[in-house]
Chains A and B, each alone.
Chain A
Amino acid sequence: MAEMAVESDVMEAAGPYDRARALSAFKLGDITFYWITRACAISVLLILGGIIISLIVGAWPAIREYGAAFLWTQRWAPSADPPVLGALGPIYGTLVTSVIAMMIAIPVGLGIAVFLTEICPIWLRRPIGLAVELLAGIPSIIYGMWGFFVLGPFLANTFQPFMISVFDGIPVLGTIFAGPPSYLSLFNAALILAIMVLPFITAISVDVFKTVPPVLKEAAYGVGCTTWEVVRNVVIPYTRVGVIGGIMLALGRALGETMAVTFIIGNSFKIQSSIFAPGTTISAAIASEFAESDGLHQSGLILLGLLLFILTFFVLAAARLMLMRLEKKAGN
């Protein structure tokens, strides 16, 4: 049918019917389209390669000076002569804040998504959905200021003293939740991060939960499954790949978030056992010090950036691997 229509069109335009010419015109369009999209796709690789190369070039003096020890030494003294730089503090802070943020955001985000798609009365769906989208739309600097003026004081005056007194004297937990309470700490930054990445997890989970064929769910309900069982055994397994994708997107944001974290983490390069103590992350360290840095100090900051790049790469690669293994298992 479609071909007929096209033919008649071409006939009208070109007068005498010439099938070969019409086809070659289509082919030319096809080839152009193919190359344009291909060039777009390849440009991503070029841009990424350019970023990596410029990072390595910028970081080279620091790599030569500090070598691999950069990864596990903690002293950060840019004003020493020559500067002594070690990245362990920022690496530790990046990982700890991201892990805590994900520990909070994954259950809450999935909870919201399940509630929205499975349980929520229709009239409440739009307000909650809109609220989640608004959370994603708030600029990070606003989160930073809110954390600094509202969340920080609340945590320092109410939440932290409570946690400190609850865990006081218990081994390990007692050191993790140790005082004094602080407006600016790793934990406060992690909490802000959790709120910031929540919409990523929720929005993507809601979208993939909606793709579950109603037949499957209805069948499960039909054999007497509870809502929990349907979510647990039908919805989650069916949408696993999408949900993990959302979580990874959120983790990527948590690892790299800069402005809000810089505001509220306390920017201390020293690693302390308490999560209520100030710390720093890789991106916060770069944002804070880059403008006034030069020489080895600046090169060290670029090397930090390269590390963040590599760290994110490994996290995403690990996520891919995990997905592949999950799919294999599901296939069996």
Chain B
Amino acid sequence: MNFLRTIVAAGMVAASTSAFAADITGAGATFPFPIYSKWADAYKKETGNGLNYQSIGSGAGIKQIQAKTVTFGATDAPLKHETLEKDGLVQWPMVMGAIVPVVNLEGIKPGELVLSGEVLGDIYLGKIKKWDDAAIAKLNPKLKLPADAITVVRRSDGSGTTFNFTDYLSKSSADWKAKVGSGTAVEWPAGVGAKGNEGVAGNVGQTKNAIGYVEYAYAKQNKLTYAAMINKAGKTVQPTIAAFQAAASNADWAKAPGYYVILTDQPGEASWPITAATFILMHKDATDKAASQEAIKFFKWSFEKGAKMAEELDYIPMPESVVKLIEKTWSSEIKS
């Protein structure tokens, strides 16, 4: 990751010397880093304007935009409306990802195992200890599950992925909500912690009878066995782009101030239950208005032309209806 970052940073330095146009700087979440840098590359080729994004983590991104050291901040965990108002910030979702449970079980193919939020919560609480537990067997009558202990794998570093995953568990398991709750780093009752999505993917891939949660892209790239989930409507859904977008379309964006919608456990028969958006933060009344306008131009371009690039990297573009809302927000809230 650091290596990648160095390369990108070096590229940015080279780029900034050639084109002296108002360069946009952004910092924050690590999860959208690959797509933001891909967009920046394509945007640069088309318009000659550069963008410098540093993936320093959501929390740090929020701090940087509050301190006005960057043009925009990026976070996986959205800020509440009150915080936005207090700091004079505008927030909107930029692109989405999905989190999928992954397992390492002999003889079980991707999408075969079915889990529910409640069962997932009990596994992560350490209440369900073995794969042949009655609760798992009930959801999977046709599968032959081993009588072995479950190795629970989770993130050790604070992360937006963990925030969305624990938020989902809080919504679907009362016990989880009471004992653990949600956050970027929580008090894990069980399991081993691995660093980053790649750490969890690697760990689950290597450990027999393990379960973990990763961003969809990591499950796909590492060819891990993902599980199907039972969603809020009680239907079994497979993790597909269509299911992720269904969750976003079914969310009630229009009524959420500051787009404070956490996409987990959304209604709708086709919705994947652990979907997550990643957000951009900008000042309503920025000190450097030129850079601020440049940034908006870049985001507008990304919404219009970047959808395909996002899908290539296994991100999910925001649905058309949401993009329209966001564009309205820009024109009404950001001062030029």
Contacts and interface: CB of A to CB of B under 8 A. Distances in A.
Interface in A179-206: 180, 182-184
Interface in B173-205: 180-188, 191-195, 199, 202-203
A291 B193 contact: no
A289 B57 CA distance: 11
B1 to A, nearest CB: 11
Contacts, number: 95
Contact of A182 (B56, B151, B182): B151
B260 to A, nearest CB: 18
B149 to A, nearest CB: 6
Contacts of B187: 75-80, 84, 269
A64 B198 CA distance: 37
A153 interface: yes
Interface in B32-82: 56-60, 62-63
Contacts of B191: 268, 278
B332 interface: no
A267 B192 contact: yes
Interface of A: 75-80, 84, 148-149, 152-153, 156, 180, 182-184, 262-263, 266-269, 278, 280, 284, 288-289, 291-294, 297
Given A79-B185, A184-B193, A278-B193, 20 more contacts: A76-B187, A79-B182, A80-B181, A148-B202, A152-B206, A153-B206, A180-B151, A184-B194, A266-B193, A268-B191, A288-B185, A291-B56, A291-B158, A292-B59, A292-B158, A292-B185, A293-B59, A293-B158, A294-B62, A294-B63
Given A75-B187, A289-B185, A292-B185, A183 B203 contact: yes
B321 interface: no
A120 to B, nearest CB: 38
A268 B194 CA distance: 10
B183 A291 contact: no
Contacts of B194: 184, 267
B106 interface: no
B207 interface: yes
A304 B195 CA distance: 20
Contacts of A84: 187
A249 B310 CA distance: 50
B185 A180 contact: no
Contacts of B56: 291
Interface residues of B, number: 33
A268 B193 contact: yes
Nearest to B186: A79
A292 B183 CA distance: 10
B156 interface: yes
Contacts of A267: 156, 192-195
Contacts of A297: 185
B159 interface: yes
Contacts of B59: 291-294
B269 to A, nearest CB: 32
Contacts of A180: 149, 151
Contacts of A291: 56-57, 59-60, 157-158
Tell me the dominant secondary structure on chain A's binding face. Answer: loop
A280 B57 CA distance: 22
Contacts of B183: 78-79
A284 B57 CA distance: 17
A77 B57 contact: no
B2 to A, nearest CB: 9
A278 B158 contact: no
B184 A79 contact: yes
Contacts of A262: 156, 195
A299 to B, nearest CB: 14
B157 A292 contact: yes
A275 B60 CA distance: 35
Most chain-B CB neighbours within 10 Å: which of A79, A266, A268, A280? A79
Nearest to A298: B59
Contact of A288 (B58, B180, B193): B193
B151 to A, nearest CB: 7
Which 10 pairs between the two chains have the least Cβ-Cβ distance?
Answer: A79-B183, A292-B158, A267-B193, A267-B156, A77-B187, A266-B192, A291-B57, A292-B59, A278-B192, A79-B186
Most chain-A CB neighbours within 10 Å: which of B57, B187, B203? B187
A288 B183 CA distance: 14
A184 B195 contact: no
Contacts of A152: 206
A304 B203 CA distance: 27
A103 to B, nearest CB: 24
Given A182-B151, A288-B193, A292-B59, A77 B186 contact: yes
25 contacts: A76-B187, A78-B183, A79-B187, A80-B187, A84-B187, A148-B203, A152-B206, A182-B151, A183-B207, A184-B192, A263-B195, A263-B199, A268-B188, A268-B192, A268-B193, A278-B193, A288-B158, A289-B157, A289-B185, A291-B56, A291-B157, A291-B158, A292-B57, A292-B185, A294-B63
B182 A288 contact: no
Nearest to A183: B207
A291 B57 CA distance: 6
Interface in B143-182: 149, 151, 156-159, 166, 180-182
A183 B206 CA distance: 9
A259 B193 CA distance: 14
Nearest to A184: B192
Nearest to A266: B192
B307 to A, nearest CB: 29
Contacts of A278: 191-193
A5 to B, nearest CB: 54
A291 B27 CA distance: 13
A1 B56 CA distance: 65
Nearest to A294: B59
Contacts of A184: 192-194, 203
A233 B193 CA distance: 48
A184 B149 CA distance: 16
